[in-house]
Amino acid sequence: MANNILIVPEARDGSLRKVSFELVTVANEIAQGLGGAVHAVVLGNEVSASAEQIAKTGIAQVYQVDHAALQNFAPEVFTAALADVIRKTQPAVVLFGATGFGKELGARVAARIGMGLVADCTGYKVEGGTLVLTRPIYAGKALATVKAKSLPVMVSIRPNIFPPASADASPAPIEKIELSANAARSQVVEKVQKEAVAVDLAEAKIVVSGGRGAKNAEGFETVKQLANTLGAAVGASRAAVDAGWIDYSTQVGQTGKTVAPQLYIAAGISGAIQHLAGMSSSKVIVAVNKDPDAPIFKVADYGIVGDLFQVLPVMNEELKKVLAEK
Ligand SMILES: Cc1cc2nc3c(=O)[nH]c(=O)nc-3n(C[C@H](O)[C@H](O)[C@H](O)COP(=O)(O)OP(=O)(O)OC[C@H]3O[C@@H](n4cnc5c(N)ncnc54)[C@H](O)[C@@H]3O)c2cc1C
């Protein structure tokens, strides 16, 4: 039997989240190693455009489960729908994003159909027919190597680690699958949009984060200004969030979001292990801190010892000039 890989792209508000295309990249390589094809299942309400988009990434087959009951993320309905597709298509590996959606859905589906689950992977390879995965453990202090002793297995992939596949290939066939049972036990009555953020933290290429060193909400504006110039997402340490200077949704770390941007700028953040857990996979880390012994400098690629209220405005002005020349 072919060792096919089934990816679970994330359709939201009429389009696919970037992690969906990163899953294609990972799936293609695993499929090569295991000798199978890449399939995708798009779940949601009126998700034809999303199904068509993922069909153009060079994969072999798309399944579309389209139903009004999948309009909002009702986990029990999505679980039933995905479990059905897995039973029908018998993939060797089910790949999804280690996002809020993927974490909730993956665990439920794994339990429902009795599959193993390797969560939040940042590396993978196929060795002699065995899938070998890497995942950070102990808040990012160590990397575990996990061998999938048997297939099928479910694997979640950390967003922003792997390059996204492009969607310009000739389209794969799309097969519509009926939702067999609408198992909704809860109903979303209302969705309240929080303060609109310019750039999604989890998917941002650049993140500028501030900590207790920003001193107060007004001081945090200095951090936001630099983020604005760079088109970056704003992040924060728990100290800044707990102080009420910025919304909890911006917290980076063990009890906040995990980010892996190309560039992470940490201003007035000491570098506690719980903060590092959420950002140490960033490609380039720049730290601005007035204490030369701050632990953040141990993980930083570039360190600036100085007062953020002096350093950030200069960076901001210089970057504006550079960007204006482009
Ligand atoms: C179970 C648990 C979970 C946690 N989860 C998280 C988490 O998800 N995310 C998280 O961030 N933390 C988390 N924490 C808290 C974490 O331990 C730290 O307390 C927190 O990260 C500290 O935030 P900070 O670096 O902003 O503050 P501090 O540790 O107080 O550091 C402030 C830094 O700013 C520097 N500074 C001060 N003034 C200036 C200035 N003018 N210019 C430049 N630098 C300046 C100081 O030198 C210092 O290094 C968690 C803790 C626990 C126990």
| pLDDT tens, residue by residue, 40-68 | 999 999 999 999 999 999 999 999 999 98
Provide the angle, in degrees to the nearest 10, between the axes of the packed helices 75-89 and 100-113: 60
- Ligand 1 within 6 A of CB of 318: no
152 C-beta neighbours (distance < 10 Å), count: 19
pTM of the predicted model as reported, rounded to 2 decimal places: 0.81
- Tell me which DSSP letter residue 80 carries: H
Provide the angle, in degrees to the nearest 10, between the axes of the packed helices 48-55 and 19-34: 50
- Tell me the CA–centroid distance for residue 145 and ligand 1, in Å: 30
12 strand-pairing partners: 15
Query: Model confidence at 187, in pLDDT bands (50, 70, 90)?
Result: confident
Q: Checking DSSP bridges between strand 142-147 and strand 130-137, what pairing results, if any?
A: antiparallel
- Tell me the CA–centroid distance for residue 156 and ligand 1, in Å: 29
8 C-beta neighbours (distance < 10 Å), count: 26
pLDDT at 174: 98
CA-nearest of 273, 62, 322 to 170 is 62
- Tell me the CA–centroid distance for residue 228 and ligand 1, in Å: 22
pLDDT at 113: 95
* pLDDT above 70 coverage of the chain, percent: 97
133 C-beta neighbours (distance < 10 Å), count: 22
| pLDDT tens, residue by residue, 122-160 | 999 999 999 999 999 887 788 999 999 999 999 999 998
Name the token pair of 155.
């694997």
Name the token pair of 175.
């097969």
Task: Evaluate if residue 27 carries a pLDDT over 90.
Answer: yes
Provide the angle, in degrees to the nearest 10, between the axes of the packed helices 308-325 and 217-230: 20
- Tell me the CA–centroid distance for residue 18 and ligand 1, in Å: 30
Query: 234, 259, 270: which to mutate for ligand 1, most atoms within 8 A of CB?
Result: 270
- Per this entry, what is the length of the chain? 326
Taking CA atoms only, the protein residue closest to ligand 1 atom 50 is: 274
Q: Which amino acid is at 60?
A: A
103 strand-pairing partners: none
Q: Which amino acid is at 28?
A: N
Task: Evaluate if residue 223 carries a pLDDT over 80.
Answer: yes
pLDDT at 34: 95
Query: Model confidence at 191, in pLDDT bands (50, 70, 90)?
Result: confident
Phi, psi of 28 (to 5 degrees): -60, -45
pLDDT at 242: 97
- Tell me the CA–centroid distance for residue 13 and ligand 1, in Å: 35
CA gap 216, 159 in Å, rounded: 31
Contacts of range 183-188, beta carbons closer than 8 Å, 24 or more positions apart: 183/76, 183/77, 183/79, 183/80, 184/69, 184/74, 184/76, 184/77, 185/76, 186/74, 186/76, 187/74, 188/71, 188/72, 188/73, 188/74
CA gap 27, 171 in Å, rounded: 17
Domains along the chain with CATH numbers: 5-176 (3.40.50.620), 201-325 (3.40.50.1220)
CA-nearest of 158, 153, 105, 101 to 129 is 153
Phi, psi of 63 (to 5 degrees): -110, 140
- Tell me the CA–centroid distance for residue 221 and ligand 1, in Å: 18
- Ligand 1 within 6 A of CB of 235: no
Taking CA atoms only, the protein residue closest to ligand 1 atom 52 is: 274
Name the token pair of 217.
């909400």
Phi, psi of 260 (to 5 degrees): -145, 60
* Whole-number average pLDDT of the chain: 94
CA gap 184, 162 in Å, rounded: 34
- Ligand 1 within 6 A of CB of 269: yes
